[in-house]
Amino acid sequence: MTTNETGTRAPRGPYAKSKQRRESIVMAAHEVFAAHGYRGGSLQGVADKVGMSQTSLLHYFPSKGDLLLAVLNWRDTVTGDGGARDPRESLVDAVVRQARFNETVPGVIELYTVLCAESVTDNHPGRDYFTQRYEGLRRSYLQQFSALADAGRLRPGVDPERAAASLIALWDGIQTQWLMAPERIDMAGALRDYLDMVILPE
Residues 190 and 144 sit within 8 Å (Cβ to Cβ): no
Q: How far apart are CA 160 and CA 162, in angstroms?
A: 6
pLDDT of residue 7: 53
Query: Residue 200 — left, alpha, or beta (φ > 0 → left; ψ -120 to 50 → alpha)?
Result: beta
**Which pLDDT does position 9 carry in this prediction?**
57
User: What span, in angstroms and rounded, lies between the C-alpha atoms of 156 and 150?
Assistant: 12
Please report, for the chain, the start and end positions of each structural domain, with discontinuous segments joined by +. 2-75, 80-198
pLDDT at position 14: 58
pLDDT of 18 reads: 86
> Rounded to an integer, what distance in angstroms lies between the CA atom of residue 192 and that of residue 92?
6
Q: Residue 8: what pLDDT? A: 52
Q: In the CATH hierarchy, which fold is given to the domain comprising 2-75?
A: Arc Repressor Mutant, subunit A (1.10.10)
Quote the pLDDT of residue 34. 87
- pLDDT, residue 5, reads 45
CA atoms within 13 A on the CB side of 118: 21
What was the pLDDT predicted at 15?
58
For the chain (length 202 residues), average pLDDT per consecutive 10?
A: 49 70 92 89 94 94 91 82 67 93 90 93 92 95 96 97 98 96 96 97 88
pTM for the full model?
0.80
Contact indicator for 95, 195 with CB cutoff of 8 Å: yes
Q: Tell me what pLDDT residue 81 has.
A: 54
